[in-house]
Amino acid sequence: MRDENKYALLIDAENVSSKYIEIVTKEAQTLGNVTIRRIYGDWTASAKNSWKDSLLENSLSPIQQYSYTVGKNSSDSAMIIDAMDILYTNDVDGFIIVSSDSDFTKLAMRLRESGKRVIGMGESKTPKPFVRACEQFKTLDVLYKNHHPEQKANMPERIRKQEIRCVPTERALPREQPKDAQPITNLRAIKETVFSLLDENSDEDGWMYLSELGNMIQKLYSDFDCRNYGFHKFGKLIESFPELQTRKDDSSNGITKIVLVRRRED
């Protein structure tokens, strides 16, 4: 059996809230074996007290970085230096960079140039250059709102009304969401791209493999995650668009189901 991919998890404690630690570690573990776990910050500052309980529980190695200048994130340079050291001295397949800071954009680009996977995690306020520089980007505040049932009532109706006029078949979309917790790429843009990809890549009858469509969407939008829009599976999101229809076929072994999608015929 093929070994799991190995990842280095690097967290910018100066730029990410400790309330996201559960989501960060869970998402990291789904990617593979997280062999390096480091978190950077000025641990002499009282503002870091909220992180301290999480360090031992999640096997995070705290890296002390003093704040030499007021108002400047002191962790940036330490994380960048360590990431480059890990790149050249450790056998890892990818990096998980947890920060909402655009200063890591060039780092993400450099790591990918070396053939490493780069998964970013940060809030929806994260500048797009860093988001786009990552192969995938997890929007922590949106996932947090969907992860905590008591928060769901605080998400706005417009998530449902992004001109898609659809009703989710899996579960209702959250009703109200604070402005600072919106998906980076809105659902309207995803829908328009889905239609465009279908027009360009479907067969003569208009059908396209659902898995192929999902892979293309992920490559175009590194921040795409169907959970951002209230769905646990990509197929459920597609089924919520009334203009589309899906079809399931048996594969050659008669066991695996192949799902196809196309525009609904009038």
Q: Which two tokens stand for residue 192?
A: 């328009």
The overall average pLDDT reported for the chain is: 84
In a shared domain, residues 88 and 199: no
Residues 225-238: pLDDT tens digits?
A: 999 999 999 999 99
H/E stretch holding 77: helix 75-89
Residues 151-170 have a mean pLDDT of 43
- What's the first-to-final CA gap in the chain, in angstroms? 48
Residues 236-264: pLDDT tens digits?
A: 999 999 999 999 887 666 666 789 999 98
The answer to whether 73 and 15 have CB atoms below 8 angstroms apart is: yes
The CATH number of residue 226's host domain is 3.30.420.610
Decide if 1 is inside a domain: no
Domains identified in the chain, total number? 2
In a shared domain, residues 168 and 221: yes
- Whether pTM > 0.75 for this model: the answer is yes
- Residues 244, 164: Cα–Cα separation, whole Å: 11
- Domain membership of residue 75 as a residue range: 6-147
The answer to whether 40 and 104 have CB atoms below 8 angstroms apart is: no
Residues 181-234: pLDDT tens digits?
A: 789 999 999 999 999 999 999 999 999 999 999 999 999 999 999 999 999 999
In a shared domain, residues 208 and 119: no
Does 158 have pLDDT greater than 50?
no
Alpha helices in 16-58 (DSSP H): 21-31, 49-57
In a shared domain, residues 179 and 233: yes
DSSP classification of residue 222: T
Boundary of a domain, candidates 147, 174, 189:
147
